[in-house]
Amino acid sequence: MRFEFNPASVISASIFVATLSLSSNSFGRQCSVTPPPGSIVETGCSSATVADLNAGCNAAVPVFTDLGTLASGGVLNVAGQFGTFIPAGGTTYTSRDLDWYLVQCDAGTLAVTLSTANAAGTGQMSASVIFIKTAAGADPCLGDFDIGVQSSACPHLQSIVSGAGRHLIVVTTPFETDQAVPVLQCGTYLMTLTHTPLSYPICGTSTESCTVAHGAGGCNIPECCEQVCSFNPLCCDIAWDSGCVDSGVTTCGLFIYACSPPASAPTNDCATESQLIEIGQSNVVADNSNAGTDGPGPVVSACAAAMGKDLWYTIQVPTNGALTISTCVGGDASTDSVIELFGLGADPVVTSDRAGLLPDMYIGCVDDTCADATGTIIVGGPGALTLIDAVAGEYYLIRIGGWYDEAAGGQETADTFVLSIVTTFEEVMYTTGPQHAVVSAAGALTNVGLSSGCTAALMPQRWLAQAFVVPSSAASWDISRMTVKGFAPAGVTNTTLNYVVWSRLAGNPRPLDGQQLFTGSVPYPVGYNGGADNYGNASHDIVASFTLAAGNYYLTAYAANPSCGTVFSNFAWFVSAYDGINLIDAAGPFAWRSSVFPGTAAQGFLRYTFNGAYTIAAGGDPNDLYNTAFDIFGSPVDSTPPCLGDYNNDGIRNGADLSTLLSGWGTSAADITGDQMTDGQDLSTLLSGWGACPN
């Protein structure tokens, strides 16, 4: 059994909703799909047997319906079909048809109105989805959508204000949520595009910043420009002065960086004066008692939390991995700090001009106390932020401040605290790289996951065994996390996500009973977006704790619940990871897959292939077809014995170390032996190892 999702589901995970203008209403007309005269008629609903002639970015070679130019103040009507369908070889409605359109128009408001009818023509569909991307470039498949909204309204209306250019519009339905009663089977729709020109044309052509006063009228954010000029036309007719800038900040939520530290403020009160810290550095204490506020507000930063009295820190990561920042050591159940993270890339310097771009560098935030529901302090969270895909050598800007209630007061009412900042890092010990779509026999791109779990009464252990290597850069590694990429198909119940680590012998031998090294499970985790993957929210974390020596292994990940056999579980583990380890024999690439384990020789891990149903996407290696996507995080275990007495870590025990020992005499400051006292025993240990440290 396998499950496949249309890759357009990536869109719903990666799009962002425009913060300036978004509306949904009936648009004053009935929910009718009857096309007016002159409507453009689109092809029917694609399916397992009907070719999709406007599959857009879902096709191996993208293909769109080009609607041409929508005249200023004009209207275009398009009649078509979309909805869910059963994919080839499937039994449930796990695929959906999307229709992709390109349209050219002048600066102004582009509105998309969508009316639907069900497959029987007896009523509207229960929901529809509209995506809009403004300024779709030479490759419309690149970049995020500006709007992506699901709605049960009919008509369903979404609109966006933008400059002149070519725009991409995608319309579809959600995936079915009840496979037993498919209500979103291919039905008909009427899409109406309307264009309303800008009241102030300069708003569609100006290249000047809306946050900087300038001598010409207008600014480069059409929506904000229109709003400000509707209040003060002089901002468009004469000049965009400081008053226009202030209106933009207030009306549109624009961000202008400014920092005026209060008296006795900490040295890292401003983003431009952040404190450089190292991973694992001790005694990093955040005291925001006298701090001011200079970071973006909640509307601008995309963090819903209102934060004041903020402090700033910069940290660099040594390699690819997971960076965790926690303020929970020394905290209490009432401490409510907010942590935001910004990406600086290779340049750690934040000038005033660069600080103005903080909303563009925003990565994420956490806003919570450090206690769980019982009031117990948890060092790792919930008041902790983890960046799972930190990039080797890059710098990150950390903002830590106190939460405040916007309804009760301003930034000056933010919580104050004295908190220790604890930073930890998990190195990517092994990665297959991101997950990619594959090409179906019909030529469409789709994301395919191999079912893992109790997927049927006769398949209680539908497992995969995926090869990985523990690198020899260390004798062994402490494994802390495994991130597997996939999804839970509709209609299953997953209570846990489980793992087995197997030994892997030379060649391609299948795992056998008795070769299990470590097993474990976690409550079924919420998926999140790994960014580079072709499918959104595919990453699922398995927190673990075990040690593996350098060598070759297999990993199995599968979903489970307590009622296997009557209630099915399934984690569909995505294939087509280009950096995985290929299993190849004389017949070509394959995967090890079981139905029952250990079972009989015909039920354990057996050679599995797609039999031509799927091939690798363009640019990939055909041998990578069966590589499932996952990352393993850990820390190398240092097998080198410590050099006792080398206090300055220069590789030699000499007079400098002796001076350090003597200056700590009678205290615990220079203790070597572990008895919390620097005395004659420590001196004897130092002198007995005098000279170069052993390698």
- The pLDDT value recorded for residue 138 is 86
Could you give the residue ranges of the DSSP H alpha helices within 491-576? Answer: none
**Residue 560 CA neighbour count, 13 Å, CB half:** 16
For residue 592, the surrounding DSSP H or E stretch is strand 591-593
- The pLDDT value recorded for residue 344 is 96
- The pLDDT value recorded for residue 329 is 62
Structure token digits, residue 38: 């002159």
The beta strands (E) that lie in 56-155 are given as 65-70, 75-85, 95-97, 99-105, 108-117, 128-133, 147-151
User: What whole-number distance in Å separates Cα of residue 458 and Cα of residue 473?
Assistant: 43
Establish if 7 belongs to a structural domain.
Answer: yes
Three-state DSSP at 43 gives coil
- The pLDDT value recorded for residue 619 is 85
Establish if 139 belongs to a structural domain.
Answer: yes
For residue 637, the surrounding DSSP H or E stretch is strand 630-637
Establish if 264 belongs to a structural domain.
Answer: no
Residues 115, 25, single domain; the answer is yes
- Taking the CA atoms of 667, 668, 670 and 671 in sequence, report the sign of the dihedral they define: positive
Residues 345, 440, single domain; the answer is no
The crossing angle, in degrees rounded to 10, of helices 680-688 and 655-663 is 170
> CATH number, domain at 113?
2.60.120.380
Cα torsion through 245, 249, 253, 259, rounded to 10: 120
pTM over 0.95: no
Residues 415, 552, single domain; the answer is no
User: What whole-number distance in Å separates Cα of residue 40 and Cα of residue 103?
Assistant: 13
- The pLDDT value recorded for residue 554 is 97
- The pLDDT value recorded for residue 174 is 84
Residue 642: cis peptide before it, omega within 30 degrees of 0: no
- The pLDDT value recorded for residue 409 is 75
Domain end marker among 426, 450, 470: 426
CB-based contact 154:81 (threshold 8 Å): no
Q: Residue 32: phi, psi to the nearest 5?
A: -120, 140
| Neighbour count for residue 505 (Cβ, 10 Å) | 13
- The pLDDT value recorded for residue 3 is 37
User: What whole-number distance in Å separates Cα of residue 244 and Cα of residue 220?
Assistant: 13
User: Which residue has 């009935």 as its token pair?
Assistant: 30
- The pLDDT value recorded for residue 545 is 94
> CATH number, domain at 352?
2.60.120
Taking the mean position of all CA atoms in its chain, how far away is CA 496?
22
CB-based contact 420:285 (threshold 8 Å): yes
- The pLDDT value recorded for residue 10 is 28
Residues 182, 233, single domain; the answer is no
Residues 335, 245, single domain; the answer is no
- The pLDDT value recorded for residue 12 is 25
Here the contacts of 372-375 (C-beta below 8 Å, separation 24 or greater) are: 375/333
- The count of structural domains within the chain is 5
Taking the mean position of all CA atoms in its chain, how far away is CA 255?
24
CB-based contact 680:671 (threshold 8 Å): no
Residues 62, 188, single domain; the answer is yes
CB-based contact 592:464 (threshold 8 Å): yes
CB-based contact 334:377 (threshold 8 Å): no
Establish if 646 belongs to a structural domain.
Answer: no
Residues 298, 376, single domain; the answer is yes
Residue 155: cis peptide before it, omega within 30 degrees of 0: yes
User: What whole-number distance in Å separates Cα of residue 156 and Cα of residue 226?
Assistant: 24
**Which stretches of the chain drop beneath a pLDDT of 50?**
1-28, 373-382
For residue 224, the surrounding DSSP H or E stretch is helix 222-231
Domain end marker among 426, 451, 481: 426
Q: What is the pLDDT of residues 274-298, one digit of tens each?
A: 999 999 998 899 999 999 999 887 7
Establish if 258 belongs to a structural domain.
Answer: no
Residues 437, 464, single domain; the answer is yes
Establish if 577 belongs to a structural domain.
Answer: yes
Q: Which residues contact 659 (CB under 8 A, 6 or more apart)?
A: none
Query: Distances in Å between the alpha carbon of 190 and those of 127, 134, 196, 431?
Result: 14, 21, 20, 45
Residues 614, 665, single domain; the answer is no
User: Which residue has 């470039």 as its token pair?
Assistant: 137
Residues 55, 172, single domain; the answer is yes
Domain residues for the domain of 148 are: 2-197
Q: Which residues contact 489 (CB under 8 A, 6 or more apart)?
A: 3, 92, 94, 449, 451, 570, 572
Burial class of residue 33 in the structure, from the number of CB atoms within 10 Å of its CB (0-12 exposed, 13-18 middle, 19+ buried): buried
Establish if 257 belongs to a structural domain.
Answer: no
Q: Please name every residue paired with 652 in a beta bridge, in sequence order, or none if there are none.
A: 692
Domain end marker among 181, 197, 213: 197
Establish if 641 belongs to a structural domain.
Answer: no
Q: Which residues contact 688 (CB under 8 A, 6 or more apart)?
A: none
Structure token digits, residue 556: 């199995």
Residues 102, 246, single domain; the answer is no
- The pLDDT value recorded for residue 83 is 87
- Taking the CA atoms of 455, 456, 457 and 461 in sequence, report the sign of the dihedral they define: negative
Residues 238, 340, single domain; the answer is no
